[in-house]
Amino acid sequence: MTDTDVVEAIHRHLDQHPDDWQARRELADLLEQAGDEAGAACQRWMVEARRRPWGPAVSWCWTTERSAFNDKSVVLSLLPDAVWQHLSGPSGPSGSSQDKWYLTRREAEEALAHALQAHRLQATGRSGDRPLERSSP
């Protein structure tokens, strides 16, 4: 089995068992080996923060405030506001600006990877839209 096959197998497993933090650690290592630094950092952040998208009802969701739902998996989908502001994706079926919905878990996690990367760039004063300026020697 190739590393790509293993990555795909872990993704299929996480679709059914999104709370498997050990599988996420293994996925992070494989993504890093494949050169996907943002994906690896995202998986590690989710493990450390114990966060993952809520689903699968019809789709997968990230939220920014405690929902009216009293469900453990909704609590696990709460994102800090500093990360949330960088998250792309459509609002939920209710039209709430407090959640973003995705057709697959993978899409939700890819959006989070981009948001985390943008948040880190902003926190360090760098912009992802332009190259870093070099200081003069």
67 pLDDT higher than 60: no
- Whether residue 70 lies inside any domain: the answer is yes
Residue with the bigger pLDDT between 25 and 129: it is 25
How far apart are alpha carbons 43 and 127 in whole angstroms? 22
- Whether residue 80 lies inside any domain: the answer is yes
Type and span of the H or E element at 105: helix 105-123
Among 1-15, 46-60, 95-109, 120-134, where is mean pLDDT lowest?
120-134
How far apart are alpha carbons 6 and 124 in whole angstroms? 34
What pTM value is reported for the model? 0.82
DSSP code of residue 63: E
Instruction: With beta carbons less than 8 A apart as the criterion, state whether 2 and 77 touch.
Output: no
State the total domains in the chain.
1
- Whether residue 29 lies inside any domain: the answer is yes
Instruction: With beta carbons less than 8 A apart as the criterion, state whether 38 and 114 touch.
Output: yes
